[in-house]
Structure 1
Amino acid sequence: MRNVGITAFVFWTVMLGTTVPTPLYPLYERSFGIVPVEVTVLFAVYAVGVVVGLLTLGRLSDQIGRKPVLGIALLLSAAAASLFLVSDNLTMLLVARVISGFSAALATGAGTAAIGEQLPASRKWLGPVLALLANMGGLASGTMLAGILAQWAGHPLRLSWIVDLALIGVGLVGLVTVAETVRRTRPTFRFQRLSIPHEIRGEFIRASAAAGAGFAVLGVLTSVTGILLGTELGRDDPALTGFVVFLGFVFTAAGQLIDRRLPPSGSLPAACVSLVVAAGLIAWAVLGAALAPLLAAAVVVGLGTGTAVSAGLRAIATGVPAARRGEAFSAFFAILYTVLAVPAIGVGVVIEYANLHWAGGIFSLLVALLALTVLISLSRRRPVSG
């Protein structure tokens, strides 16, 4: 189990680094003179790095081994943290975010696979749970750690990255002692073909739409929460910003775990209802300049998103032949990360040319409409008895 613990720590550390900037965006905005739409672009290019990484390097750990790929992910994470540490302009921040996206793409595939392979046969069932905790735990920890350090320690744009680099150093030292689980072959690089699996076309589209709506909300929460708290609620509070996003990621993990106990037919309807409620809470938070509905929205959208993602992964795992399963998983996550980025930029544009009230209202309406559309399609496909 020592190998499993080290691998999970490495996975957690890489994901932690991807969300460290979240509570720092308002500080970058003031320090570098960037505007809200540039903040959302800064967030969104991370998703571009993840998608490109998944589509081009998703099979790399199958070929050269889990350990080398996790090492590359840590080094890329260190490169991104170093750029953030010395950055003094938007261009450097953008490059750092793209590199961070590549590190996450590599760690997600290699870390998930390695944890499953390192567990003894009697504990294989723990693999998905530990991978989920490392992934979402890292995302949640990064935003909370940076928020606390920025709020109550000195050098808010520097200290978080120093701590991140120290964690990466520990991960690199530990990784040296981990045993490889894959027999290495010559690496081949090709762009992963994406397609919707015809065996589960309807279920895939509905799960992608519901999970995509949730990812869109998480993306906007991640990129805009600091702006909302500062401009509308008068709370220039990195720790609070970090906590709001922390709730979203923690409850996304909880939603995936809870879904394991739901009947398969109930997962997507529950997710859609949660997302409609979350959209209403976000509109209330933005239009009413209220903190309580914002916190509640983070919890509810996390639960809905986690449930929808779990439903999509289950549909692929059980309904797609093994030979095309990797392709289907890649398509699913490529859709989710694309939807993570695009609405955030759209909200930034509306904030720039109108205001946050308009942006929040339009976005909430679109999320609710998408979730309701999926919910209606689910009700129509159920067989009518009698």
Structure 2
Amino acid sequence: MPAYTAAGHRRSFGFAIAATILLMVAASAPSPFYPRFAEQLGLPPVATTLIFAVYAFTMLAALLLTGAISDAVGRRPVITVGSVLLAVSLVVFWQSDSLTMLLVARSLQGIAAGLLLPALSAMVVDFAPPKQSEAASLWNTIAAMTGLGIGAITAAIVLDLLANPTGAVFGSLTVVFLLIAALVWATPAATRSVRLRVASTISRPAVPAKMRRALKVAVPAIIAGWATNGLFLALGSSVVKIEFGATTHAQQSITIPIFAVSGIIASVLLHRSSARVVSVYGTSALGIGTALNLGALALHSFPAYLVTVAVVGTGFGTAFMGVLKTLMPRVDPAERAAVMAVIYTVSYLAFGVPTIIAGLLVPLISLQGAMMALGAVIGVLCAVATVKRIRIPDLPHPDDLPRRPAKTPKHQSMT
């Protein structure tokens, strides 16, 4: 077993961050291929969005059923199983020649991501530098958004340059995740004071009565942010191709890295601000950016469209962070898993359902019309979330509260 050394912990911290980035690379790499798949297989718009959405639904199911399993059996076994399963899904993507195979590939990828994401996120926390309480949450955010941006633009460039892009992208990622499955065993096992029974690791969504009002205020922000993310990943390339006439895959996919990088920058700049400031900025930027984005789309101004994508990205990058900073101080430690299950249930439903709705609307009102309709709904949700969040006061984090001295029992005599 690897020794518990400071250097070993740093390597493990770096490994977990790198693996999270690569997980998100694998999640976004298929996005530039969607127009290609649709053209080659003659798929309708709803089929393309369904390929995307099935990932969100299977990932949600895996999160709810196995999200805490690495607490019971350890991080390394779960990361190994998830990485091998993800490699299998990438091989299926590589060999796909029908809608059925694409749905199977994306479903397997969602299950694998549902295993890997909580285990890797927990591993980042396990090996985060001491006395840096915010390092883990910040790096988890940065790693996820970095991977999303890198995966999309890299896959797009490969599509433009190589004759066999599917083999290059999905074959390379297959090898990468087989290596991750092996290399994780070079990291030390995180110590755990309590071993949970596997049966107890199934998350049961529940919201304590004391925080239901705060969660109701947060729901519009969660839906708006994750719906925006899903629409950009599922339809962003098609919008740039159809509405702005982009001819290369790199041009078609440029919105995804812009969206991700702007979100990273905003998260880094604001992560020490109060929950109210982060939340209000996030929903305001998301709403205003969406309105400007729709205006640029209507005017067919590609430069303006890219600028507004950056504004929207800063909103998404901070809106969800603001939700967590608002809710977590209100949650008792024993209730965190159940509350997070509720939050992620709403998040991944918002991630998948609007993309399917968009796919159904495209044949009826065009791609631009579908984006306009859903964008209007997102704008309204952002306005509601901003106004309601202003009225909710911040609570201090439990770690920041002064500790009360232990009370002396009344029956104990004073000497």
Query: Does the TM-score normalized on the shorter chain lie above 0.5?
Result: yes
3-state SS of paired residue (2:72): helix
1:144 and 1:242 in contact (8 A); partners too: yes
Aligned partner (choices 343, 347, 352) of residue 336 of structure 1: 347
Aligned pair in 2 of structure 1 residues 182, 208: CA closer, same or farther (>3 Å)?
farther
Shift of 1:301: 1.8
Distance 1:249 1:205 in 2: 27
**What secondary structure does 1:73 align onto?**
helix
What secondary structure is seen at the aligned counterpart in 1 of 2:165? coil
Tell me if the contact between 1:252 and 1:303 (Cα under 8 Å) persists in the aligned partners. yes
Aligned-residue offset at 1:169: 3.2
Matched, 1:44 2:53: yes
Q: Distance between the aligned counterparts of 1:326 and 1:212, measured in 2?
A: 20
Q: Deviations over 1:207-237 (max 9, x none)?
A: 2311320211111111112221222211132
In 2, are the aligned partners of 1:279 and 1:368 still within 8 Å (CA)? Answer: yes
Q: Separation in 2 of the partners of 1:65 and 1:370?
A: 40
TM-score (norm 2): 0.86
- 1:51-130 alignment, distance < 5 Å: 51-123=60-132, 125-130=134-139
Post-superposition offset of 1:63: 0.5
Select which of 277, 291, 294 maps to 1:280. 291
Residues 219 and 328 of structure 1, relative CA distance in 2, 3 Å threshold? same
Listed as ranges, the matches of 1:212-291 within 5 Å are 212-291=223-302
Partner Cα distance (2:269, 2:329) in 1: 19
TM-score (norm 1): 0.93
Instruction: For 1:319-358, list aligned pairs within 5 A.
Output: 319-358=330-369
Letter in 1 for 2:97: D
Within 5 A, what are the aligned runs for 1:185-204?
186-188=197-199, 191-204=202-215
With 309-318 and 254-263 compared, the bigger mean Cα shift is at: 254-263
Report the alpha carbon displacement of residue 186 of structure 1 after superposing the two structures with TM: 4.8
1:134-179 Cα offsets, whole Å, 9 max, x none, are: 2222222211211111112221233211221232233233212111
Deviation per residue, 1:4-53 (Å, 9 max, x gap): 22222222222211111111111111111111111111111111012101
Is 2:187 aligned against 1:178? yes
Secondary structure, aligned partner of 2:190: coil
Give the Cα–Cα distance (whole angstroms) in 2 for the partners of residues 194 and 19 of structure 1: 28
Distance 1:291 1:189 in 2: 51
Residue 240 of structure 1: how far off its partner (Å): 2.2
Say if 2:155 is the partner of 1:146: yes
Specify the code of the residue in structure 2 equivalent to 1:315. Answer: T
Q: Which runs of 5+ in 1 are unaligned?
A: none
Matched, 1:296 2:307: yes
CA gap 1:109/1:380 in 2 versus in 1, 3 angstroms:
closer
Per-residue deviation, residues 236-269 of structure 1 (Å, max 9, x unmatched): 3221233211222233333333332323222222
- For 2:237 and 2:124, locate their aligned partners in 1 and report how far apart those are by CA, in whole Å: 35
Name the CA distance, whole Å, in 2 between partners of 1:320 and 1:299.
33
Residues 281 and 197 (structure 1), Cα distance of their counterparts in 2 relative to 1, 3 Å cut = farther
Contact 2:87 2:175 in 1 (8 A): no
Q: Quick one: distance in 1 between partners of 2:296 and 2:235?
A: 12
Name the CA shift for 1:231/1:242 in 2 (closer, same or farther; >3 Å).
closer
Letter in 2 for 1:26: P
CA deviations on 1:44-89 (whole Å, 9 max, x unpaired) are 1111012101100111101110111111121121011000000100
Offset of 1:198 from its aligned partner?
A: 2.5
- Which of 39, 42, 46 matches 1:33? 42
Counterpart contact for 1:316–1:328, Cα < 8 Å: no
Question: Are residues 119 and 274 of structure 1, via their aligned partners in 2, closer, same or farther at CA, if it must alter by over 3 Å?
Answer: closer
Cα distance in structure 1, aligned partners of 2:252 and 2:200: 39
Q: 1:211 to 1:300 in 2, by over 3 A?
A: farther
User: Which structure has the bigger radius of gyration?
Assistant: 2
Mapped to 2, the partners of 1:292 and 1:83 lie a distance apart of 37
Give the letter aligned to residue 317 of structure 2: G
Q: Number of residues paired by the alignment?
A: 383
2:304 maps to amino acid: P
Q: Distance in 1 between matches of 2:130 and 2:257?
A: 33
Hey, what's the Cα distance between the residues in 1 that align with 2:180 and 2:226? 28
CA-CA distance at 1:3 after TM superposition: 1.7
Amino acid at match of 1:227: S
Distance 1:119 1:276 in 2: 34
CA contact (8 A) 1:81 1:96 kept: yes
SS of the residue 1:222 aligns to = helix
When residues 317 and 377 of structure 1 are mapped into structure 2, their CA distance, relative to the original with a 3 A threshold, is closer
Contact 1:151–1:239 (Cα < 8 Å) also in 2: yes
Q: Quickly say closer, same or farther: Cα 1:288–1:74, change in 2 above 3 A.
A: same
Letter in 2 for 1:373: V
Instruction: Mark the runs of 5 or more structure 2 residues left unpaired by the alignment.
Output: 1-9, 394-415
1:102–1:293 Cα change, 3 Å: farther
Q: Which segment is superposed worse, 351-360 or 189-198? A: 189-198
